[in-house]
Amino acid sequence: MPVKKILHFRVWGDPPIAASVETMLRASYPEDELEIITLWTLIKADKGTLLRNLWAVIKEYGLDILLGRLQFKAAFFRTVFLFAHVRDLAAQIGAQRNDIRFTFQLQSIFDTHVAGIPHFIYTDHTHLANLNYSPAIKVHLYSAEWIACEKSIYDHADRIFTRSSNISRSLIEQYGVPEAKVRCIYAGANTPIPSLDPRDKDYSARSILFVGLDWQRKGGPQLVEAFERLYAHYPDAVLTVVGSEVPLNHPGIHVVGRVSVEELNRYYQAATVFCMPTRNEPFGIVFVEAMAHALPIVAARIGALPDMVADDRNGYLVEAGDENALAEALEKLLDSEKRRAQFGRQSWQLSQKRYNWNAVGHALRGYTDEYFKEGA
């Protein structure tokens, strides 16, 4: 019997999630051959397409970009012209082939379905989900025409797999996708996680870790305000800021900026509390990494985070931007080594059960096998 192929479409090949998903697919479907199509490689090779899309960006989003409401790079990939170009490109790649078991699309920027072939999507976001985040953040949507294109992505999919339940709800409630087409399978970490036994972890230090590049959006200023209030009562407390390079002058705050994966793991291992009170977050892979390192978590009650953090079980959720609630939640953890250890071990257990690529692959395989059995 000839080997079937999985035709895997992804926009870029370099983000860590691309490598994670590729590895997961190979492990989950060992009997199939994985054929990878990196769309940006094809797009940038065609200078005519690049020029025509540049003009489309100017027409659709020029004013929004000039006024700082939208970023050029993001708008470049969300024109009606480029959407139609990629849709036709995918159709040409898959046309008249009988060796494809299904197509698999990472993210929901383009429509890469091929007529007559089962099509699955794995995504961490929808555009309209941005409307559900903190009201303190003004949302500037892409054009109505592009949002209609986005909806067609979901209409053409046979199953849509999400990384969090809030995106599943967005698909159903904001795009009218039938509930039967949507499955939440979560996600794993995109960096190597050292094996550990959480019973061996030392929680005695009052060591808070923040990991994030976008200081303002990730809630960095609110965390500093909360930490400064607590420092008077816990002078041995330390806040370590990884990723963001911000000028902070406080004896208890250590800013280290960008670090390698190996260094980042060391900071996770040294911490006893993880806190990133982000105000807008599609998923938040750093929370998955924190759970895998057996850390209790304090975060904002937005997006995917209610899936990851259960109040008074493995951490605390607060309203985005509420510095008083943030300080109170952190105080509960700084005040009790026993609570830090208990919550941290619960985080680790959740990472072992749900937030790892073996679990994601097992769920994906189960649901796709179920789909094919239904159609048999």
Domains of the chain and any CATH numbers: 5-188+356-375 (3.40.50), 198-353 (3.40.50.2000)
Residue 1: its pLDDT value, please? 59
d(CA 181, CA 164): 15
Q: Residue 101 is encoded by which pair of tokens?
A: 């078991």
pTM of the model: 0.93
Residue 304: its pLDDT value, please? 94
d(CA 318, CA 301): 6
Band (334; pLDDT cuts 50, 70, 90): very high
Contact 6, 26 (CB under 8 A): no
Q: What is the mean pLDDT of the chain?
A: 94
| pLDDT at residue 107 tops 60 | yes
Contact 349, 355 (CB under 8 A): no
Contact 337, 204 (CB under 8 A): yes
Residue 137: its pLDDT value, please? 62
pLDDT, tens digit (0-9, with 9 covering 90-100), for 17-55: 999 999 999 999 999 999 999 999 999 999 999 999 999
Amino acid making up residue 212: G
* % of residues, the chain, pLDDT over 90: 88
| pLDDT at residue 3 tops 90 | no
Residue 136: its pLDDT value, please? 57
Identify which has the larger pLDDT, 83 or 376. 83
d(CA 338, CA 328): 17
Contact 9, 39 (CB under 8 A): yes
- Among residues 248, 302, 255, 254, which one has the least CA distance to residue 277? 302
Band (138; pLDDT cuts 50, 70, 90): confident
* % of residues, the chain, pLDDT over 70: 98
pLDDT, tens digit (0-9, with 9 covering 90-100), for 108-119: 999 999 999 999
| pLDDT at residue 134 tops 70 | no
